[in-house]
Structure formats: structure tokens, C-alpha cells
Amino acid sequence: MSSGKGGELIPSSSELDLDRPNIEDYLPSGSSIHEPLGKLRLCDLLDISPTLTEAAGAIVDDSFTRCFKSNPPEPWNWNVYLFPLWCCGVVIRYLILFPVRVIVLTVGWIIFLSCFIPVHLLLKGHDKLQKNMERALVELICSFFVASWTGVINYHGPRPSMRPKQVFVANHTSMIDFIILEQMSSFAVIMQKHPGWVGLLQSTILESVGCIWFNRTEAKDRETVTKKLREHSQGVDNNPLLIFPEGTCVNNQYSVMFKKGAFELGCTICPIAIKYNKIFVDAFWNSRKQSFTMHLLQLMTSWAVVCDVWYLEPQNLRPDETPIEFAERVRDIISVRAGLKKVPWDGYLKYSRPSPKHRERKQQSFAESVLRRLEEN
């Protein structure tokens, strides 16, 4: 703990990683504070309603918000000896490495487009050959992207193979998750539809490998995507499905609830655990604060992106297991392998507010508890 203005105690980052504290530890005891009779104290309020206890506990330990926060590194250029080294590093990263990486990515796009456009236009009617060549070209441009970050990617386990009724699921930190996995093996990813140049790539290049897009604000899209998932998973020649069941980017320290859709298809689930080393850069993409273009610039101006990818043992639904239990079991496997802390939150709460019915239930519960306490007095 450190002391802020007015002697206020501020928890350190290491303390925030501890399990949820007991709110009673933060309340003053009756012997420590002498108050006149009849004055309402905080502990009295908490006795009135478990709703206030729940709210106070959430303030003390807001594990939901922490799932989507990027933790800045501790500053190390704090003295006259280290500051010149830090300045040299900035010059090297921005004036030497960054221009070289831009050239590498530009050359990659030139090679990709000069091959992809003829293949896409001239090989119509030769579906199998066209699909194989487009698949190889998408893997190639993903490799150029990884090279533009000086990516150091360590893959563990057998390389994914094309088999029907097989779905790959992974934890989600950034859109670069897909790029890192795609350079090793071609996947058909299920992803939110994005605007701008990313959306243009989605609707042209990535659709050639069977990717499926949706808009989380459209209820009809969910039914359409579910139908497409079932059809795609049955195809023998289709690329393996890749799904990020968390439904949103999490900061690679926590794991939020998995959506059950991928686990209701009757397919074999192949878990993939992705863990980024933050020694050079934090790969977490906070889409509310940063565009994907700025996120890529941040990666390209860092020293390197270091990542480990584990292809884990395939899992199947057990006879006595529901899809929700199956999803939780797979989440356990990925969380243990990637060293992630599980939290009982739905990632979609990041984009929506609690429903009016939920608020009304809480208000009614609070009112009833207050009335009971008043009747007792």
C-alpha cells in the first residue's frame, strides 16, 4: 500500500491481483469509533441490505473492469544513467526499425495483391485450385504482418489439420490473435464486422477463406451465424473454424465466460491457448480507446511481439454434460495452460448496460430490506 494525498491508502497493482477481499475488514469496529447514539453508521447500512454489501464489495474489488484494462509497465528510465539509454532506444525503434518494418509490410502487400487478384479473377471455375492458392496467399500476408512486428511466436503441439466436424476455440486478446494463428494454418474465423479498411479486408480477402462476420447489435445476425456455423463445420474441404468464445478482447490476464454457441454444434472442440509476453509491448487491444490502426502502429514501434501458442488436446461433449458445462471445462483447460485468472463475467457486458428488469429487481430487494429494518426498530 502507498500513501496518496490526505493520507488516503492506494492499493498497489500486486494487491489488486489478490482474491476478492472481505468487505467487513474495511468497516470500523464499534470499539474503534465512538459515535453518539442514534447516528446511522456504515455497518448499519450494510446490515440493512445485502445490495449495499454487494455494491461496496464491487467498489473494493472490481474484477470486471480489470479484465479490460491495459496495465502500463513500470517506468525504468528514472535516473541520469538510464535515461540516455531509453532515448537511444526510442531513436532506434522509431527512426530505424519502424521504417524498415513499413517497407517489409509494403513489399508483402505488393506481392500478395499481385498474386491474389489474378488468382481470384482468372481461376473462377477451378474451385479447388483457387481455394488452395488463396489459402496459401492469406497465410503469406499474415506472415508479413507478423514480420512487421518482429514477432517471436513459439508454437507448441501438433499443427491443426483440416477435418470435418472440428472447431478450434481460443482466448482473445486482440485481432492479431487471428493473424498469428492464420500464418501457421488457414482458419475460417468468426468475427465482429468492423468499419474502415479492416471491414474492406473482411468483405473481400478474408471471405475467400470462408470467414463469417456478424454484428453483435443485430439479433437476426445470431440466427444467421448459427446456421452458417453448422453448415461450415460439416464441409470436408472447408477451412477449420476458429472461434473466440469470449466474444470480446480481454487483457490476457483474465478469462471471461465462454459463449455456448461453439459447444452446441456437436463437433470436436480443439482448444488453443495464447499467452503474450509483455516484456516489450502489451498486445491487448482496447477497441474503445484505440483504433486498430493505432494498435498496429504501437506494435510496429515496439522492439518485438513475443507470444506462445499451445494447441491442446481435442475435447468432446460428455454424455452427462450440458453445452454450458462443456464450455466451462474447455475454458478451464485454456486458462490453466495460458496462466489466466477465471472470472464469472459475461464479456458482452462491456458493450451493454444491465437490463431494466435487473435494476427493478435490485431496487425492490433494497426497498423490502429497508422496510424490514424499519419495522424491527
Please choose, from the candidates 169, 278, 188, the residue with its C-alpha nearest in 3D space to the C-alpha of residue 231.
Answer: 188
- pLDDT for 338: 94
What are the DSSP calls for 81-112, one per residue?
A: TTHHHHHHHHHHIIIIIHHHHHHHHHHHHHHH
3-state helix vs strand vs coil in the chain, percent to 5:
50, 15, 40
* Residue 9 CB coordination number (10 Å): 8
Separation of alpha carbons 74 and 8, rounded Å: 22
156, 161, 165, 166: CA torsion to nearest 10: 20
Helix and strand numbers (H, E) in the chain are 13, 11
Exposure string of 347-363, with b = 16+ CB inside 10 Å and e = fewer, is beebeeeeeeeeeeeee
| One-letter amino acid of 304 | A
| One-letter amino acid of 260 | K
Q: Which residues in the chain show pLDDT less than 50?
A: 1-38, 60
Separation of alpha carbons 179 and 148, rounded Å: 12
- pLDDT for 2: 46
**What are φ and ψ of residue 365, in 5° steps?**
-60, -40
Q: Are the C-beta atoms of residues 155 and 184 closer than 8 Å to each other? A: yes
Beta strands of the chain (E only): which ranges?
Answer: 2-3, 9-10, 151-156, 166-170, 188-192, 212-214, 241-243, 254-255, 268-277, 305-311, 341-342
Separation of alpha carbons 337 and 325, rounded Å: 19
CA–centroid distance for 109 within its chain: 27
- pLDDT for 52: 59
* Residue 317 CB coordination number (10 Å): 18
Q: Are the C-beta atoms of residues 174 and 246 closer than 8 Å to each other? A: no
Sign of CA dihedral 135, 139, 140, 145: positive
Separation of alpha carbons 142 and 189, rounded Å: 14
**What are φ and ψ of residue 367, in 5° steps?**
-60, -45
Separation of alpha carbons 229 and 222, rounded Å: 10
157-200 pLDDT, tens digit each: 988 877 778 899 999 999 999 999 999 888 888 887 777 788 78
Separation of alpha carbons 188 and 365, rounded Å: 47
Separation of alpha carbons 279 and 12, rounded Å: 20
Please choose, from the candidates 279, 285, 202, the residue with its C-alpha nearest in 3D space to the C-alpha of residue 249.
Answer: 285
Cell matching residue 99: 521504417
| One-letter amino acid of 41 | R
Q: Are the C-beta atoms of residues 134 and 116 closer than 8 Å to each other? A: yes
